[in-house]
Amino acid sequence: MKLTDEIKQMLDENIVYLATSTRNGEPNVVPIGSAYAISDNEILIHDMMFVKTRANLEANPRVAISFTDTKRWESYQLKGSAKIFTDGDIFEKVLEIMKIKEGRRQKDHMETISNPKVKERVQRMMELHKSMRPKAAVLIAVEEVYSNMPEM
């Protein structure tokens, strides 16, 4: 299933939710701050702190991603299969993308926060994130794309 340029841009600009499940179907959903479309049917995310999510991906590669772009008032669900890479070209690609995009995204995000307490907390979280190295890259082959919005 092909990702449109608009969907690719929305993935890059929004927090997405990654749904996984155990081999027995026990669900797990986590927010992902960075998802990058690297082709018309592939999404790359980095594993910084996955525990349950990583175990689920190893047991069952079927995943779903859901996100809403409130600026465009559009929402999508993407379904597919994930593969984990701890080294090699795909892992190096996630490191490269992080260097290029993370600084810009963090700066843009900080400019939208007006509450000083929230701003301080987000700043601390961003500093922690910068000091961490991804444990893996997760490549998702998108097989289905659904709009979450009602047809009008």
Q: What is the CATH number of the domain that holds 9?
A: 2.30.110.10
Residue 102 inside a domain? The answer is yes
Residue 46 inside a domain? The answer is yes
Residue 38 inside a domain? The answer is yes
Residue 100 inside a domain? The answer is yes
Question: What are 137's two structure tokens?
Answer: 């890259």
Q: What is the pTM of this model?
A: 0.84
For 30-58, how does the pLDDT look when each residue is reduced to its tens digit (9 = 90+)?
999 889 999 999 999 998 889 999 999 99
- pLDDT, averaged across the chain: 88
Residue 51 inside a domain? The answer is yes
Tally the domains of the chain.
1
Distance CA 11, CA 78 (A): 11
Token look-up 């525990």 returns 51
Residue 81 inside a domain? The answer is yes
Residue 99: give the domain boundaries: 5-147
Residue 34 inside a domain? The answer is yes
Distance CA 48, CA 10 (A): 21
For 61-89, how does the pLDDT look when each residue is reduced to its tens digit (9 = 90+)?
999 999 999 888 999 999 999 999 999 99
Residue 152 inside a domain? The answer is no
